[in-house]
Structure 1
Amino acid sequence: MTRTTPARPVAVEAVFPELAAHRGRTTRLHPRPGRPGRHDSHVGGPLLWPSEEPWPVCREQHAPETEGYAPEEIRAARAAGVWPRSRPWPGAGHPAEGGPVPFMGLAQFFGRDVPGLAAGPGGADLLQLFRCPRTHGPYLERRYLLHWRLAEQTERADGFLAAAPEEPLLRWENELPEPCVVHPEEVVTYPWAEDDTLPAALIARIDAWDDAQTAEDGRNAPNYQGALSIPPGWRVAGFPSWASTGPMDIQCASCRTPMRLLLTAGSNEMDPDSHSWMPLEDRDPPLRGMASIRGGRSAAQPTRLRFGRDHDLHVFMCPANPGHPPQWVLS
């Protein structure tokens, strides 16, 4: 089934004509629980991984753990609609504690499926995203990995990995992605309005308009950041949202070129400020606002993944050289 973003509650360029010069496009991925295969674009499904290639592992030191959740028990609990039980973490000397840790495959996207997906090194058109399931250091930092491939060449491999290696225990239930098919849809988007992301006079007008809307209609009034500029959830290209950190200047560590947003992985597909972006197919037409949204968690948090404290994970790439290391920002 396709997913269709409703018209914005306000024609933003009619209110702020200057925004036409800053208009952009993003591809909303609209992940929804399903049964994707290795030749599909997806979140949480099997990756197109040739069987002769070693699976990526994280060799850094990991923070010690006391308890965790077994992946097979997470899956069974989700199917039953209950919470999985935790188990004591294996003691010192267990491979999960002292050895390399296999990265968790989170998603893969083919350029043929996803409009706006930038090409990788050497014209690569298949993007695969990984996260280490363990934390690092006193601040529980995460490690991510991008792997680029040429799709046509990879699909000619003699065989493919039947099942990716898994850690026996995961720190949190939301480490394990729910297999989701994606429904790419291009939509118009506008920059976050803060600091120097837009001209100062325009940001001041947007702020004043937001205040006037709230004074007239209360908390349910549409605001620029939540309802008119950047959609929530998983998306490709477009503008980053800066709700937690404020705007950041992201430059390539190799050549100092300003980096471009490649991908956003969102913890949630909506929140109270952004519910107007929920697709028409996930709504009950006679109802309005939050009350119209149907599908429960499968629509609001379909992938079951969490990034930081329900933040967006922004992946930036260098437009001058896609082979330069990406940068990862939680915002």
Structure 2
Amino acid sequence: MTRTTPARPISVEAVFPELAAERGRTTRLHPRPGRPGMRDSHVGGPVLWPDDEPWPVCHEPHRRETEGYAPHEIRIARAAGAWPPSRPWPGAEVLDEGEPVPFVGLAQLFRRDVPALASGPDGADLVQLFRCPFTHGPRPERRYRLRWRRADETERAAGFLATPSQVPLLRWEHELPEPCVLHPEEVDTYPWAEDDTLPAPLIARIDAWEDAQTSEHGPDALSYQGDLSIPPGWRVGGFPSWASTGPMGIDCASCATPVRLLLTAGSSEMDADSHSWVPMEDRDPSLRGQASIRGGLSVAQPTRLRFGRDRDLHVFTCPADPGHPTRWVLA
């Protein structure tokens, strides 16, 4: 089934004509629980991984763990609408701080499914996203990894890995992605309005307009950030959202070129401030507003993943050389 973003409640360019020059495009991925295959673009499904390649492993020191959740019990609990039981770490020893840990495959995207996906090194058109299931350092921090491939070459491999390496327990239930099929859709977007993301006079007018909306409509008021600029959830390209951190200037660590947004992985596909973006196919046409949304967690949090404290994970790459180190930002 396709997913169709509703028309915006108002035309933002009619209110702020200057934004026509700032308009961009993003591909909303619209993940929904399903049964994707390894040759599909997906979140949480089987990764297309040749069986003669070692599965990616995190070798950095990580926090010691003494308990967690078994992946198969997480799946059973989700199907039952329950919470999985916490288990002590198996064996006589807890997970050692220096022990290598297999990465968890979070997503893979083919450009044939998402034409707006930027090219990787040597024209790679398949990107795979991984995360270490444990935290690192006192803050604590996470470790992510991208693997770029050429899809045509990879699909000619003699065999593929059926069961990736994994740790026996995950520290948190939300470390395990729910297998989701994708429904890519391109939509118009506009930059986040804060600091120097737009001209200062324009940001001042947007702020004044939002204040007037709140005075007139109260809690049902429209907002530029929530309803008109950037959709929530998983998306490719477009503009980063900066709800938690405020805008950040980010350059390539190798060549100082300003990086571009490759991918945003969202903790949620909607919240109270962004429910107007929920697709028409996930709504009851007889109802209006947030009350019309159907599907529960399968619509609001389909992947079951969390990034930070329900933030967005922005993945940036260097436009001058996509082989340069990836930049990861939680915002």
Shared fold, TM over 0.5: yes
What amino acid does structure 2 have at the position aligned with 1:232? P
Aligned residues, how many? 331
Work out whether residues 13 and 19 of structure 2, in 8 Å CA contact, stay in contact via their aligned partners in 1: yes
> Which residue of structure 2 lines up, in the alignment, with residue 143 of structure 1?
143
Aligned in 2, Cα 1:163/1:221: closer, same or farther, shift over 3 Å? same
Structure 1: 5+ residue stretches without partners: none
Identity of aligned residues (%): 78
Residue range with higher mean Cα deviation, 253-262 or 163-172? 163-172
> Which residue of structure 2 lines up, in the alignment, with residue 313 of structure 1?
313
Work out whether residues 102 and 167 of structure 2, in 8 Å CA contact, stay in contact via their aligned partners in 1: yes
Q: Deviations over 1:270-303 (max 9, x none)?
A: 0000000000000000111110000000000000
> Which residue of structure 2 lines up, in the alignment, with residue 275 of structure 1?
275
Work out whether residues 3 and 183 of structure 2, in 8 Å CA contact, stay in contact via their aligned partners in 1: yes
* Residue 27 of structure 1, CA deviation: 0.1
Secondary structure class of the residue paired with 1:217: helix
TM-score (norm 1): 0.98
Aligned in 2, Cα 1:96/1:185: closer, same or farther, shift over 3 Å? farther
* Residue 89 of structure 1, CA deviation: 2.8
What amino acid does structure 1 have at the position aligned with 2:24? G
Work out whether residues 92 and 98 of structure 1, in 8 Å CA contact, stay in contact via their aligned partners in 2: no
Work out whether residues 132 and 143 of structure 2, in 8 Å CA contact, stay in contact via their aligned partners in 1: yes
* Residue 258 of structure 1, CA deviation: 0.3
> Which residue of structure 2 lines up, in the alignment, with residue 110 of structure 1?
110
* Residue 65 of structure 1, CA deviation: 2.1
Work out whether residues 89 and 95 of structure 2, in 8 Å CA contact, stay in contact via their aligned partners in 1: no
Structure 2: 5+ residue stretches without partners: none
* Residue 22 of structure 1, CA deviation: 0.3
* Residue 90 of structure 1, CA deviation: 4.3
CA distance in 2, matches of 1:265, 1:98: 28
> Which residue of structure 2 lines up, in the alignment, with residue 251 of structure 1?
251
CA distance in 1, matches of 2:122, 2:171: 36
Q: Deviations over 1:24-65 (max 9, x none)?
A: 000000000000000000000000000000000001111122
1:1-331 equivalences under 5 Å are 1-90=1-90, 93=93, 98-331=98-331
What amino acid does structure 2 have at the position aligned with 1:107? A
Secondary structure class of the residue paired with 1:203: helix
Work out whether residues 231 and 274 of structure 1, in 8 Å CA contact, stay in contact via their aligned partners in 2: yes
Work out whether residues 266 and 307 of structure 1, in 8 Å CA contact, stay in contact via their aligned partners in 2: yes
Q: Deviations over 1:152-172 (max 9, x none)?
A: 000000000011111111110
Residue range with higher mean Cα deviation, 226-235 or 79-88? 79-88
TM-score (norm 2): 0.98
CA distance in 2, matches of 1:48, 1:90: 30
CA RMSD of aligned residues (A): 1.1
* Regions of 4+ moved over 3 Å: 90-98
